[in-house]
Amino acid sequence: MTTVIEDFPDEPAVSPAATREAKDRRRAFLLLTPGVLWMVLFMLMPLVMVIYVSFWTQSTFAVEPTLTTASWERFLSSPTYLTAIGTTLKTWIIVLLATIVVGYPVALFIGLFVKNRTLQTALLVACVIPFWTSFLIRVIAWRPMLGTEGAINIILLKLGIVSEPLSFLLFSEFSVYVGMTQIYCVFMVGPITFMIARIDDSIIEAARDLGASFGTIFRRIVLPLSLPGVIVGTIFVSVMVLGEFATAASLSGRKVNLLGNIIVSQVGSLKWAFAAVAGVVLTVIITAVITLALRVVDIRKEM
Protein backbone atom coordinates (compact mmCIF):
# COMPACT_ATOMS: atom_id res chain seq x y z
CA MET A 1 0.00 0.00 0.00
CA THR A 2 2.64 2.50 1.03
CA THR A 3 4.71 1.88 -2.09
CA VAL A 4 1.82 2.85 -4.32
CA ILE A 5 1.38 6.16 -2.57
CA GLU A 6 5.08 6.87 -2.75
CA ASP A 7 5.17 6.17 -6.47
CA PHE A 8 2.97 9.07 -7.40
CA PRO A 9 5.03 12.14 -6.37
CA ASP A 10 7.88 10.90 -8.56
CA GLU A 11 6.40 11.81 -11.93
CA PRO A 12 3.94 14.65 -11.75
CA ALA A 13 6.08 16.94 -13.88
CA VAL A 14 5.42 15.08 -17.14
CA SER A 15 1.85 15.70 -18.20
CA PRO A 16 0.27 13.40 -20.81
CA ALA A 17 0.07 16.33 -23.21
CA ALA A 18 3.80 16.97 -22.92
CA THR A 19 4.58 13.30 -23.43
CA ARG A 20 2.44 13.27 -26.51
CA GLU A 21 4.04 16.41 -27.86
CA ALA A 22 7.50 14.93 -27.38
CA LYS A 23 6.36 11.76 -29.13
CA ASP A 24 4.89 13.78 -31.99
CA ARG A 25 8.10 15.71 -32.38
CA ARG A 26 10.16 12.55 -32.44
CA ARG A 27 7.82 11.17 -35.10
CA ALA A 28 8.10 14.35 -37.17
CA PHE A 29 11.87 14.15 -36.90
CA LEU A 30 11.94 10.54 -38.08
CA LEU A 31 9.59 11.28 -40.97
CA LEU A 32 11.68 14.23 -42.15
CA THR A 33 15.09 12.59 -41.89
CA PRO A 34 15.10 10.74 -45.26
CA GLY A 35 13.88 13.77 -47.22
CA VAL A 36 16.26 16.21 -45.57
CA LEU A 37 19.15 13.79 -45.93
CA TRP A 38 18.37 13.37 -49.64
CA MET A 39 18.38 17.13 -50.18
CA VAL A 40 21.59 17.65 -48.23
CA LEU A 41 23.47 14.83 -49.95
CA PHE A 42 22.25 15.33 -53.51
CA MET A 43 21.57 19.07 -53.65
CA LEU A 44 23.58 20.99 -51.04
CA MET A 45 26.72 18.84 -51.27
CA PRO A 46 26.88 19.17 -55.07
CA LEU A 47 26.43 22.95 -54.77
CA VAL A 48 29.24 23.12 -52.22
CA MET A 49 31.30 20.99 -54.59
CA VAL A 50 30.78 23.57 -57.36
CA ILE A 51 32.20 26.29 -55.11
CA TYR A 52 35.10 24.03 -54.06
CA VAL A 53 36.06 23.01 -57.59
CA SER A 54 35.98 26.63 -58.77
CA PHE A 55 39.22 27.01 -56.80
CA TRP A 56 40.89 23.93 -58.24
CA THR A 57 43.75 24.01 -60.70
CA GLN A 58 42.68 23.52 -64.31
CA SER A 59 45.05 21.80 -66.70
CA THR A 60 44.24 21.04 -70.31
CA PHE A 61 41.96 18.05 -69.78
CA ALA A 62 41.71 17.64 -66.02
CA VAL A 63 41.32 19.44 -62.73
CA GLU A 64 43.46 18.88 -59.67
CA PRO A 65 42.51 19.70 -56.10
CA THR A 66 45.34 22.19 -55.68
CA LEU A 67 43.68 25.40 -54.55
CA THR A 68 44.16 28.47 -56.72
CA THR A 69 42.23 31.54 -57.81
CA ALA A 70 43.53 31.24 -61.37
CA SER A 71 40.18 30.19 -62.84
CA TRP A 72 38.47 33.12 -61.15
CA GLU A 73 41.05 35.56 -62.42
CA ARG A 74 40.75 34.23 -65.93
CA PHE A 75 36.98 34.31 -65.78
CA LEU A 76 36.75 37.84 -64.43
CA SER A 77 39.30 39.22 -66.88
CA SER A 78 37.86 37.56 -69.96
CA PRO A 79 35.55 39.70 -72.10
CA THR A 80 33.73 36.55 -73.32
CA TYR A 81 32.68 35.55 -69.82
CA LEU A 82 31.88 39.07 -68.66
CA THR A 83 29.73 39.55 -71.75
CA ALA A 84 27.95 36.31 -70.85
CA ILE A 85 27.06 37.77 -67.44
CA GLY A 86 25.71 40.88 -69.17
CA THR A 87 23.75 38.82 -71.72
CA THR A 88 22.29 36.67 -68.94
CA LEU A 89 21.12 39.71 -66.98
CA LYS A 90 19.76 41.42 -70.09
CA THR A 91 17.86 38.31 -71.19
CA TRP A 92 16.51 37.87 -67.68
CA ILE A 93 15.18 41.44 -67.44
CA ILE A 94 13.63 41.41 -70.90
CA VAL A 95 11.96 38.02 -70.52
CA LEU A 96 10.77 38.85 -67.00
CA LEU A 97 9.16 42.10 -68.14
CA ALA A 98 7.71 40.37 -71.18
CA THR A 99 6.09 37.63 -69.08
CA ILE A 100 4.55 40.27 -66.79
CA VAL A 101 3.31 42.45 -69.66
CA VAL A 102 1.99 39.49 -71.67
CA GLY A 103 0.68 37.54 -68.69
CA TYR A 104 -0.93 40.15 -66.45
CA PRO A 105 -3.91 41.06 -68.68
CA VAL A 106 -4.62 37.34 -69.18
CA ALA A 107 -4.57 36.78 -65.41
CA LEU A 108 -6.78 39.84 -64.96
CA PHE A 109 -9.28 38.48 -67.44
CA ILE A 110 -9.40 34.97 -65.98
CA GLY A 111 -9.30 36.08 -62.37
CA LEU A 112 -11.61 39.08 -62.43
CA PHE A 113 -13.82 39.03 -65.52
CA VAL A 114 -14.65 35.35 -65.83
CA LYS A 115 -17.22 34.75 -63.15
CA ASN A 116 -18.19 31.25 -64.23
CA ARG A 117 -16.11 28.87 -62.09
CA THR A 118 -16.00 26.10 -64.67
CA LEU A 119 -14.88 28.45 -67.43
CA GLN A 120 -12.30 29.97 -65.10
CA THR A 121 -10.82 26.55 -64.33
CA ALA A 122 -10.94 25.56 -68.00
CA LEU A 123 -9.03 28.68 -69.06
CA LEU A 124 -6.45 28.20 -66.35
CA VAL A 125 -6.00 24.56 -67.33
CA ALA A 126 -5.59 25.66 -70.96
CA CYS A 127 -2.75 27.94 -69.84
CA VAL A 128 -1.08 25.26 -67.75
CA ILE A 129 -1.33 22.33 -70.19
CA PRO A 130 1.74 23.32 -72.27
CA PHE A 131 3.72 22.89 -69.05
CA TRP A 132 2.82 19.22 -69.38
CA THR A 133 4.49 18.82 -72.73
CA SER A 134 8.17 18.37 -73.42
CA PHE A 135 10.20 21.51 -72.89
CA LEU A 136 12.56 20.71 -75.77
CA ILE A 137 9.68 20.14 -78.16
CA ARG A 138 8.19 23.50 -77.25
CA VAL A 139 11.55 25.12 -77.97
CA ILE A 140 11.99 23.36 -81.29
CA ALA A 141 8.40 24.24 -82.27
CA TRP A 142 9.49 27.86 -82.68
CA ARG A 143 11.81 26.99 -85.57
CA PRO A 144 9.11 26.31 -88.18
CA MET A 145 7.25 29.36 -86.82
CA LEU A 146 9.99 31.95 -87.04
CA GLY A 147 12.27 30.77 -89.86
CA THR A 148 12.63 32.71 -93.11
CA GLU A 149 10.29 30.13 -94.65
CA GLY A 150 8.37 29.86 -91.39
CA ALA A 151 4.68 30.26 -90.70
CA ILE A 152 4.88 33.90 -89.58
CA ASN A 153 6.86 35.03 -92.61
CA ILE A 154 4.51 33.18 -94.95
CA ILE A 155 1.51 34.90 -93.36
CA LEU A 156 3.18 38.31 -93.46
CA LEU A 157 4.12 37.83 -97.13
CA LYS A 158 0.63 36.64 -98.07
CA LEU A 159 -0.94 39.62 -96.37
CA GLY A 160 1.48 41.88 -98.16
CA ILE A 161 2.76 43.41 -94.94
CA VAL A 162 6.34 42.66 -95.90
CA SER A 163 7.79 42.12 -99.35
CA GLU A 164 10.73 40.03 -98.20
CA PRO A 165 10.85 37.45 -95.40
CA LEU A 166 12.02 38.91 -92.10
CA SER A 167 15.32 37.29 -91.23
CA PHE A 168 15.68 38.61 -87.70
CA LEU A 169 12.86 36.38 -86.45
CA LEU A 170 14.93 33.22 -86.07
CA PHE A 171 18.50 32.64 -84.89
CA SER A 172 18.59 35.98 -83.15
CA GLU A 173 18.12 37.49 -79.71
CA PHE A 174 14.51 38.07 -80.70
CA SER A 175 13.73 34.37 -81.12
CA VAL A 176 15.26 33.61 -77.72
CA TYR A 177 13.08 36.26 -76.03
CA VAL A 178 9.93 35.08 -77.79
CA GLY A 179 10.61 31.43 -77.05
CA MET A 180 11.39 32.02 -73.37
CA THR A 181 8.40 34.31 -72.91
CA GLN A 182 6.06 31.69 -74.30
CA ILE A 183 7.58 28.89 -72.25
CA TYR A 184 7.75 30.70 -68.92
CA CYS A 185 4.62 32.87 -69.15
CA VAL A 186 2.58 30.14 -67.45
CA PHE A 187 4.50 30.64 -64.23
CA MET A 188 3.50 34.29 -64.21
CA VAL A 189 -0.14 33.85 -65.25
CA GLY A 190 -0.81 31.13 -62.65
CA PRO A 191 0.18 32.93 -59.43
CA ILE A 192 -1.33 36.27 -60.52
CA THR A 193 -4.65 34.66 -61.49
CA PHE A 194 -4.66 32.85 -58.17
CA MET A 195 -4.25 36.10 -56.22
CA ILE A 196 -6.78 38.06 -58.32
CA ALA A 197 -9.41 35.31 -58.11
CA ARG A 198 -9.05 35.40 -54.33
CA ILE A 199 -10.10 39.04 -54.08
CA ASP A 200 -13.45 39.31 -52.30
CA ASP A 201 -16.10 40.51 -54.78
CA SER A 202 -17.79 42.58 -52.10
CA ILE A 203 -14.72 44.83 -51.81
CA ILE A 204 -14.92 45.67 -55.51
CA GLU A 205 -18.68 46.05 -55.28
CA ALA A 206 -18.30 48.43 -52.35
CA ALA A 207 -15.79 50.53 -54.25
CA ARG A 208 -18.10 50.62 -57.26
CA ASP A 209 -21.05 51.66 -55.10
CA LEU A 210 -18.96 54.49 -53.71
CA GLY A 211 -18.41 55.69 -57.29
CA ALA A 212 -14.91 54.46 -58.00
CA SER A 213 -14.07 54.10 -61.69
CA PHE A 214 -12.53 50.88 -62.97
CA GLY A 215 -9.18 52.66 -63.13
CA THR A 216 -9.36 53.54 -59.46
CA ILE A 217 -10.55 50.07 -58.48
CA PHE A 218 -7.69 48.54 -60.43
CA ARG A 219 -5.07 50.88 -59.01
CA ARG A 220 -6.25 50.86 -55.41
CA ILE A 221 -7.58 47.30 -54.96
CA VAL A 222 -6.71 44.80 -57.70
CA LEU A 223 -3.12 45.83 -58.35
CA PRO A 224 -1.94 45.87 -54.71
CA LEU A 225 -3.70 42.58 -53.91
CA SER A 226 -2.25 40.89 -57.00
CA LEU A 227 1.30 42.01 -56.27
CA PRO A 228 2.24 38.92 -54.20
CA GLY A 229 1.29 36.86 -57.26
CA VAL A 230 3.57 38.96 -59.44
CA ILE A 231 6.41 38.45 -56.97
CA VAL A 232 5.91 34.68 -56.78
CA GLY A 233 5.75 34.57 -60.59
CA THR A 234 8.88 36.72 -60.75
CA ILE A 235 10.76 34.25 -58.56
CA PHE A 236 9.71 31.30 -60.72
CA VAL A 237 10.46 33.02 -64.03
CA SER A 238 13.75 34.53 -62.82
CA VAL A 239 15.14 31.27 -61.53
CA MET A 240 14.23 29.44 -64.70
CA VAL A 241 15.43 32.09 -67.14
CA LEU A 242 18.71 32.66 -65.31
CA GLY A 243 19.49 28.93 -65.40
CA GLU A 244 18.53 28.57 -69.08
CA PHE A 245 20.71 27.36 -71.89
CA ALA A 246 18.65 25.10 -74.17
CA THR A 247 16.47 27.84 -75.65
CA ALA A 248 19.51 29.97 -76.43
CA ALA A 249 21.36 26.97 -77.85
CA SER A 250 18.48 26.00 -80.09
CA LEU A 251 17.01 29.31 -81.21
CA SER A 252 19.83 31.85 -81.20
CA GLY A 253 22.13 30.18 -83.68
CA ARG A 254 24.94 30.57 -81.11
CA LYS A 255 24.46 34.34 -81.05
CA VAL A 256 23.24 34.40 -77.45
CA ASN A 257 25.64 32.97 -74.87
CA LEU A 258 24.16 32.81 -71.40
CA LEU A 259 26.05 31.69 -68.30
CA GLY A 260 24.24 28.36 -68.70
CA ASN A 261 25.67 28.00 -72.22
CA ILE A 262 29.14 28.78 -70.86
CA ILE A 263 28.76 26.00 -68.29
CA VAL A 264 27.63 23.52 -70.95
CA SER A 265 30.44 24.36 -73.36
CA GLN A 266 33.08 24.31 -70.60
CA VAL A 267 31.91 20.91 -69.37
CA GLY A 268 31.94 19.76 -72.98
CA SER A 269 35.64 20.60 -73.22
CA LEU A 270 36.36 19.20 -69.74
CA LYS A 271 37.16 22.61 -68.28
CA TRP A 272 35.47 21.71 -65.00
CA ALA A 273 37.00 24.53 -62.98
CA PHE A 274 35.79 27.23 -65.41
CA ALA A 275 32.35 25.63 -65.49
CA ALA A 276 32.36 25.74 -61.70
CA VAL A 277 33.31 29.43 -61.66
CA ALA A 278 30.43 30.19 -64.03
CA GLY A 279 28.22 28.09 -61.77
CA VAL A 280 29.18 30.07 -58.68
CA VAL A 281 28.58 33.38 -60.48
CA LEU A 282 25.16 32.09 -61.56
CA THR A 283 24.37 31.01 -57.99
CA VAL A 284 25.30 34.44 -56.65
CA ILE A 285 23.07 36.18 -59.19
CA ILE A 286 20.10 33.88 -58.52
CA THR A 287 20.49 34.12 -54.75
CA ALA A 288 20.53 37.91 -54.97
CA VAL A 289 17.37 37.93 -57.10
CA ILE A 290 15.46 35.54 -54.81
CA THR A 291 16.55 37.34 -51.65
CA LEU A 292 15.37 40.60 -53.12
CA ALA A 293 12.01 39.13 -54.09
CA LEU A 294 11.53 37.38 -50.75
CA ARG A 295 12.05 40.67 -48.98
CA VAL A 296 8.88 41.83 -50.64
CA VAL A 297 6.75 38.77 -49.93
CA ASP A 298 6.80 35.67 -47.70
CA ILE A 299 5.99 32.72 -50.01
CA ARG A 300 5.06 30.41 -47.18
CA LYS A 301 2.33 32.76 -46.02
CA GLU A 302 0.86 33.05 -49.51
CA MET A 303 0.60 29.30 -50.09
Partner 1 sequence: MQVGLLRPALALYAALFLLFLYGPMIVLAILSFQSQGGGPQFPIQEWSVYWYKHLLGLAETSRVSQLPVGDSLIRSLVLAFLTTVVSVTLGTMSAEAFRTRFKGSGPVFYLIILGMMVPGVLVGLGVALLSNFLDIGRAWWSTSFVLHVVYTFPFAFLVMLAIFNRFDRSVEEASLSLGVSPAQTFRRVTFPLIFPGVLSAMLFSFTLSYDEFSRTLFTAGADLTLPLAIYGTFSVEIYPNVFAFGVLTTLFSFTLLVIYGLLMKRFTRNKRFAGQEDA
Chain positions 80 to 99 lying near partner 1, rule: CB under 8 A, are: none
Binding residues among 189-228 for partner 1 as defined by CB under 8 A: 208, 213-214
Could you tell me which residues come within 8 angstroms of residue 150 by beta carbon, excluding any fewer than 6 positions away? 143, 144, 169, 170
Indicate the residue among 10 and 218 with the shorter CB distance to partner 1.
Answer: 218
Among 12, 16, 34, 160, binds partner 1 (CB under 8 A): 34
Cα Rg, the chain, nearest whole Å: 27
CB-wise, 168 or 214, nearer to partner 1?
A: 214
The span of 4-12, 67-75, 86-94, 272-280 binding partner 1 (CB under 8 A) equals 272-280
Among 32, 162, 206, 284, binds partner 1 (CB under 8 A): 32
Task: Decide if residue 43 touches partner 1 (CB under 8 A).
Answer: yes
Among residues 55, 75, 92, 245, the one that binds partner 1 under rule CB under 8 A: 245
Nearer Cβ to partner 1, position 1 or 190?
190
When binding is defined by CB under 8 A, the residue of 84, 85, 123, 232 that contacts partner 1 is 123
Q: Which stretch binds partner 1 (CB under 8 A): 72-80, 81-89, 90-98, 150-158?
A: 150-158
In the set 38, 83, 198, 284, which binds partner 1 (CB under 8 A)?
Answer: 38
The reply to whether 119 sits near partner 1 by the rule CB under 8 A is: no
Residues 6+ apart with CB under 8 A from 18: none
User: Is there binding between residue 165 and partner 1 (CB under 8 A)?
Assistant: no
Q: Does 68 bind partner 1 (CB under 8 A)?
A: no
Among 81, 180, 279, 293, binds partner 1 (CB under 8 A): 279
Give the residue, chosen from 57, 120, 250, 265, that forms a contact with partner 1 under the rule CB under 8 A: 250
Measured from the Cβ of residue 36, the count of other Cβ atoms closer than 10 Å reads 12
Q: What is the smallest separation between the CB atom of 7 and partner 1, expressed in angstroms?
A: 27
Judged by CB under 8 A, the number of residues near partner 1 is: 85
Q: Which of 297, 296, 289 is nearest to 241 (CA)?
A: 289
Q: Restricting to residues 283-302, name those near partner 1 by CB under 8 A.
A: 283, 286, 290, 299-300
Longest dimension (CA), the chain: 108
Single out the segment in contact with partner 1 by CB under 8 A; choices: 10-18, 76-84, 89-97, 179-187: 179-187
67 touches partner 1 by CB under 8 A: no
Convert the chain into a string of H (helix), E (strand) and C (coil).
CHHHHHHHHHCCCCCHHHHHHHHHHHHHHHHHHHHHHHHHHHHHHHHHHHHHHCCCEECCCCEECCCCCHHHHHHHHCHHHHHHHHHHHHHHHHHHHHHHHHHHHHHHHHHHHCCCHHHHHHHHHHHHHHHHCCHHHHHHCCHHHHCCCCHHHHHHHHCCCCCCCCCCCCCCHHHHHHHHHHHHCHHHHHHHHHHHHCCCHHHHHHHHHCCCCHHHHHHHHHHHHHHHHHHHHHHHHHHHHHCCCHHHHHHCCCCCCCHHHHHHHHHHCCCHHHHHHHHHHHHHHHHHHHHHHHHHCCHHHHC
Q: Does position 143 bind partner 1 by CB under 8 A?
A: yes
Is position 154 an interface residue for partner 1 (rule: CB under 8 A)?
Answer: yes
